[in-house]
Chains A and B, each alone.
Chain A
Amino acid sequence: MVFLSLSCWIRSRGPDRYWKVQDIVKNAKHFRGRKNRCYKLAVKAVRRAFVYATKGRRLKKRNMRTLWISRIAAASREHGMKYPVLMHNLTKTSVQLNRRVISDLAITEPRSFLSLAKVARARQQEGFRAALGDGKEPVGVFSRVVLLQ
């Protein structure tokens, strides 16, 4: 007897369930409890984790910037200046270093940071002289904006 239709009765309900489950559960392996093993619980936990990660990527940029700012403020107060004065005068002298670089300089290159603070102080003094003086004195060296082309 030959069964001509037996092969039609065997159904394959998706050959790759294992890998689809593993794709999700592998992201939950460091979780606590059954949600690091069982698919139904892991799906919810992994989705939540990914949502938190997305929100965290935006917060990380903000937090890093506030950290750089507080570090620069601490370092500038060591040299007798305040953070807003330092940054404002550095932008006025067209020093286009961002806060990340300035905070790294403050930690690893203290003398370079001191020189930046001195530049800012000199520009601040020039600004005071221009505001309080007669206007007949020439503007100082740091106030001349150099336009690079």
Chain B
Amino acid sequence: MSSFSRSAQQWATFARSWFLIDARMQPPGKIATMCAIRLQGKHKPIYHAMSDCGDHIVVMNTKQIAFSGNKWEQKVYSSHSGYPGGFKQLTAAQLHHKDPKAIVKLSVYGMLPRNLHRHTMMQRLHIFPDDELPDDILANLTEELPQPREIPKQLSEFTQEEIDAFPRLWTPPEYYKMK
């Protein structure tokens, strides 16, 4: 790349990339931090707030997002319509049912700096609840980012041989009733 001309080198340095993140079984907060860093351009050594060096991020499978703990029931998203009596509170589960894109969108919106670039950066964030991406976005993608959380293997995914090979920790007595 050092053999490029100066203008070509600069064009390549400041080019905008398109990143893909699969949010299947991932905590939305961790997805949102990765998105926010790359939307601002803070992952580049040429970062400057005025340089408009952010990249595009495509998040897919947001329908299968996984909150840890009891957040689906306990986390409350509040909003006010501006009219009296317009205070609305929705749990994360209700909001996700109503709009599967909203949780990731609100998390990223809250993690971006509170300045006039925020809306431009949100326009560069593309969220899809499913696997299907439109063709023009598929054509632009350059890199897929690794998932922040390792998806633990479900019991149904283990083969019978692996289950048998697992060491027995204790033998239950005869009167013990297993679920």
Contact of B42 among A74, A103, A106, A107 (CB under 8 A): A74
B77 on the A face (CB < 8 A): no
* B48 contacts A67, C-beta separation under 8 Å: yes
Tell me the chain B residues, 30-76 only, with Cβ under 8 Å from chain A.
42-48
Interface residues of B, dominant DSSP:
loop
Total contacting residues, chain B, CB less than 8 A: 7
Interface residues of A, dominant DSSP:
helix
For B45, B47, B48, the residue with the greatest tally of chain A CB atoms inside 10 Å of its CB is B45
* A74 contacts B48, C-beta separation under 8 Å: no
The distance in angstroms between the C-alpha atoms of A74 and B44, with both chains bound, is 5
Q: Which residue numbers of B lie inside 8 Å of A, CB to CB?
A: 42-48
Q: Which 5 A-B pairs give the minimum distances between C-beta atoms? A: A75-B45, A106-B45, A71-B45, A107-B45, A74-B45
User: Can you report 22 residue pairs joining A to B where beta carbons are below 8 Å apart?
Assistant: A67-B47, A67-B48, A70-B42, A70-B47, A71-B45, A71-B46, A71-B47, A72-B45, A73-B42, A74-B42, A74-B43, A74-B44, A74-B45, A74-B47, A75-B45, A77-B43, A78-B43, A78-B45, A103-B45, A106-B45, A107-B45, A107-B46
